[in-house]
Structure 1
């Protein structure tokens, strides 16, 4: 008997959700697009073939395999998200697969009699397309998809809205909760890790010539996983969104200062100066990597996890410790 399906168990958040479930005693099934990856994922998770973990082939862009994936499961953690290998030519290239994949999982879950789906959304579905503000974003906020926002944030917003519309209109009793993490950090399990960690990696290896001026929330991947489990099991979580963030937002200069103070010589390449906004905005027009951050420059996207703390008793660990553990794991990976 499989208790929980985790979609995308090979991904950064998905792998930590699988580990948290296994550690809590659940039998877990996870989806991969290619079953040939099973040995690699098991090695990453340090889960032998005797662990309460099974793999099934399913792709968010195809109906095949989803009925088998959800069969017999009480709960689904829908963590997987369609990925593109290049910048999309238009928004629909990212938006349409995100919506279709989400609805594919929800329909299969409903037909299989799943009790509750916990969907991994993002702060990108909450905090973008708004005028500057002094108060933290909450779960009451939604990203304005009619504003100038990136395709990723648009896809996360419209996929989450589609999920709520489906459950409220066609769910037939299926429960839904969403977890909306800010930028996710934490120890890496292997070379494939969250894009959020790239900013730490580029500071450590000196490839970032200067610090960019923007602030956002950060959260430990292990705390994101624990919030998924609470959202899965707590009665109060049904029908709710939960922001996952640790304390208040941090500017890049704050992160750099933490790295230098805690890592000493190992942080020797971490930049000390902040790039002027006018220069950063100019580079963002011609540099694809910088372009992804264009709408963040000069902004402070603070958010609060007060709701998760109040309703579910969730508590994030100090983000300073997470930043240091992230850096240490990246340095160890580089040296291995």
Structure 2
């Protein structure tokens, strides 16, 4: 029985990843920044096969803790970077844990002889830091896939910039180390939606869905979404977890970075669907998922289904 380490395995996406691996017969080790805060991960103990689940304290900026965490894992999923739209200190809360945490992680895994596969949970921001706005030179209706040139701007949200920089760190590492004994694959989801497996109230994804459902704009970013009725490319959280599981258990995907996306809806139509009403406009396809469908054998469910379930 192989063991997978899931950094960030109790979060919104991470919980579904943990469930996927437990359902498929793996031992799963989940990281927690503070094991004393059991409310952060207690929901995972209710999953099927949770007897194969263990927890380990981990700060991604601590290389010694990283070495301990990955020491007995054949597969490692790195989803332990913060998703924050509101922050006080961009360096401390976003750039350092995201970029330095990625650098530390790569340094640690480079000397590990046990690991067979690493999957990074990146973001559409690794392709376009303007998201949900289009990349420079494109319109809201222009499609975007993995053949496009990556776009970043210093005017973008610090979260998006941090994710873009971390992605560049991974790409440089792969190029500088052509003879690795393990594979690295990256997935880059667009806006992730769906029902949380936990009752935690600190989820940015769940919080954004709540705001859109109830037409609440507590900050300039969310107000901008409403005021401009921004089209938002979306993906179901369970599909993201399934794609990550397939990326982790399929050989021959080294160096690949898959966009995970389904349909695009305007904020007004997201509001309707989150309230179990039909959207006024048909879904558009902006960020394409052809590569993930072909190489990960993914069949993405309609976004409407997950918004109705929220």
TM-score by length of 1: 0.77
Q: Does 1:196 align with 2:205?
A: yes
Aligned equivalents of 1:45 and 1:235: distance in 2?
30
Structure-1 separation of matches of 2:253 and 2:285: 25
Change (3 A) 1:85 1:59: farther
Q: Does 1:184 align with 2:192?
A: yes
Larger Cα Rg: Structure 1 or Structure 2?
Answer: 1
SS in 1 for 2:9: coil
What residue is the counterpart of 1:258 in the other structure? 273
Report runs of 4+ in structure 1 exceeding 6 Å deviation: none
Aligned residue pair count? 291
- 1:1-336 matches, within 5 Å, as 3-38=3-38, 40-47=40-47, 51-82=51-82, 87-89=87-89, 94-113=94-113, 114-127=115-128, 128=130, 129-133=135-139, 134-141=141-148, 143-170=150-177, 172-173=179-180, 174-188=182-196, 189-192=198-201, 194-208=203-217, 211-212=226-227, 213-246=229-262, 248-260=263-275, 262=276, 302-326=286-310
The separation in 1 between residues aligned to 2:209 and 2:84, in whole angstroms, is 22
* Structure 1 residue 320, shift from structure 2 partner: 0.6
User: Quick check: 1:142–1:157 contact (8 Å CA) kept in 2?
Assistant: no
| Pairwise CA RMSD | 2.9
> What is the Cα deviation at residue 79 of structure 1?
0.7
Displacement of 1:251: 0.6
Check whether the contact 1:2–1:29 (CA below 8 A) recurs between aligned residues. Answer: no
Deviation at 1:234, TM superposition (A): 1.3
How far did 1:164 drift? 1.6
User: 1:39–1:150: structure 2 CA closer, same or farther, 3 Å change rule?
Assistant: closer
Does structure 2 retain, via aligned residues, the 8 Å contact 1:12–1:193? no
- How far apart are the structure 1 equivalents of 2:271 and 2:49? 41
Cα deviation, residue 145, structure 1: 2.9
Partners in 2 of 1:83 and 1:207 — Cα distance?
20
- The alpha-carbon deviation at position 211 of structure 1 amounts to 3.5
- Contact persistence 2:29–2:56 (CA under 8 A): yes
CA-to-aligned-CA distance 1:212-242 (integer Å, 9 cap, x gap): 4111211111100000011111124222111
The answer for unaligned runs of 5 or more in structure 1 is: 265-271, 273-299, 327-336
In structure 2, the partner of 1:278 is: none
Q: Which residue of 2 aligns with 1:268?
A: none
Distance 1:142 1:89, change over 3 A: farther
CA–CA distance in 2 between the matches of 1:197 and 1:239?
Answer: 31
- Unaligned residue ranges in structure 2 (runs of 5+): 218-222
